[in-house]
Structure 1
Amino acid sequence: MSNEFAVQFTPQEMIVVAGARTLENNKVVFAGTGLPMVAITLAQLTHAPGIIPVFEAGAVGSLLTRGLPLSVGCSRTTSKAMYLQGLNSAFELAQRGYCDYGFIGGAEIDMYGNLNSTMIGAFPEGYQKPALRLPGSGGASDMASSCERTIIIMVHEKRRFTEKLNYLTSPGYLDGSSGARQRAGLVGQGPYRVITTRAVLGFDEETRRMKLLATLPGETVSSVQENTGFELLVDPNVREFEPPTQEEIRLIREEIDPHGYFIKRKA
């Protein structure tokens, strides 16, 4: 096999690998559409075969061996599932505390892990006339509210990492104050990791502010901060994240998403 897989990878492939490595074996993971599903499948095929995925349409415990689902309602999400009970049942699992992680994306994020996937611009014109209408919450707000922790996967650009969201779709730590989520009636603990095209980030336990934990290949602390619209905290033990292995890239390209539905082949 050529060495090119060991040295050449796209930003999307990198964040999928980082997302997969963040997942632990034998955890229940509520999966969003797209890159989260790719990351979960990669984790199942490598270090975490015991992951139990939950899909919004109701499939639980599927083995994603019949091809990559194109959405959370795709029939492929039901392959070898433990059970299939419908949307209400899937969200009930999260509300009762049975989902360890919710794996979601967004268009904008602030320093407290709040996400926007609804709209850009338009104020003061109002919600009905945005400059850009985004897909909306789907089940993401419910996942961010009820899953024990959330993992966020997104492109890292200054316009996306902003001090003030255009719209709050999925709650993180809200205003960052102590007990803010509990006062709002949210049962989950909040954001755990943000996996981006530049870094792996977490959150400070006291201030709830976003903290840089690791830089992805080719990035530095300075380059990550330059592409962030607010000041990041930096972990004193910030590290360089290991690049994808040859086998991880092979699995993504040849077995998980060979048609490039979610993973672009060119950087």
Structure 2
Amino acid sequence: MSQDFTPTEMMIIAAARALINDDVCFVGIGAPSAACNVARLTHAPDITLIYESGTIGTRPDVLPLSIGDGELCDTALFTVPVPEMFRYWLQGGRITTGFLGGAQIDRFANLNTTVVGPYDNPKVRLPGGGGAPEIASSCGRIFITMALSKRGFVDKLPFITSMGHGEGGNHRERLGMKTAGPTRVVTDLCILEPDPETKELTVTSIHSGVTRDQIVENCGWPIRFAAEIVGTPVPTESELTVLRDINARTRKAHSGDGKEAA
């Protein structure tokens, strides 16, 4: 085991471990993409990664800058039109796991990627929902990766872009949603899971070297801790090597130097 890692590396590797070999995973850009590809390159070599642009079974050598990155299509098993991706694959119930991030999240795992502040006069206008609202409602389960901070983990969202557990409890079920919604939120300090009854996010695992006080100080609501909390296993040397290698290839490819010739 290694103790020489950053909080971001811990977050990505902890998120990667949540995936299994049989998953069909709808991948978000950024930390979700890094986590999914670390899983593919370590313990889940047969995982099927799907990106919003219609690439299915993609196996990128570098992490994409966006869903339109040519690396995704070049390495995909096949590519389908976006309407088919959403109507047949996603809404058809063929995707087991969605991996999302966001600018803000609340205690019931609802996500905001639209505006910070009033909608008509926001402090910040964000990229918007894209396919995330449909991913959040139609994938079998949702994993979320976000750094824990009061700026991102807020008591009340100014705008709900992608529904998590709504107002809590059985809100998804009452709206006719048949999928599980967010089942895990992986941060740089801890892992949270929804309470079985209330669906409020609850700390279930704390990363190495992190204290409860740090978690409380970085959350915008009075965060709850499970009765039994485990310590998140630290990254292994092999996990760190895989993550750092793909990050190094990505930096080189996007620096203007291009990739090394095959």
TM-score over 0.5 for the pair: yes
Residue matched to 1:37 = 33
- What is the CA–CA distance in structure 1 between the aligned matches of 2:192 and 2:198, rounded to whole Å? 14
Q: How does 1:228-267 map to 2 (within 5 A)?
A: 228-260=219-251
Q: Secondary structure at the match of 2:249?
A: coil
The unaligned stretches of length 5 or more in structure 2 are 253-262
Kindly state the Cα deviation for residue 6 of structure 1 after the two structures are TM-superposed. 2.8
Residue matched to 1:16 = 12
Kindly state the Cα deviation for residue 242 of structure 1 after the two structures are TM-superposed. 1.4
Structure 2 length normalisation: TM-score?
0.89
Q: Secondary structure at the match of 1:7?
A: coil
Kindly state the Cα deviation for residue 14 of structure 1 after the two structures are TM-superposed. 1.4
Instruction: Give CA deviations for 1:123-151 in whole Å, capped at 9, x if unaligned.
Output: xxxx2321111121111111111111110
Residue matched to 1:169 = 161
Q: Secondary structure at the match of 2:183?
A: strand
Verify: 1:156 aligned to 2:152, yes or no.
no
Q: Secondary structure at the match of 1:258?
A: helix
Instruction: Give CA deviations for 1:152-183 in whole Å, capped at 9, x if unaligned.
Output: 101101232122101111100100132x2133
Q: How many residues align?
A: 251
Deviant stretches of 4+, over 4 Å: none
- What is the CA–CA distance in structure 2 between the aligned matches of 1:257 and 1:103, rounded to whole Å? 23
Kindly state the Cα deviation for residue 12 of structure 1 after the two structures are TM-superposed. 1.7
Structure 1 length normalisation: TM-score?
0.88
Residue matched to 2:137 = 145
Q: Secondary structure at the match of 1:36?
A: helix
Residue matched to 1:265 = none
The unaligned stretches of length 5 or more in structure 1 are 262-267
Instruction: Give CA deviations for 1:52-105 in whole Å, capped at 9, x if unaligned.
Output: 1111010111222x3222222212112443321121122221211111111000
Residue matched to 2:258 = none
Residue matched to 1:220 = 211
Verify: 1:75 aligned to 2:70, yes or no.
yes
CA contact (8 A) 2:62 2:250 kept: no
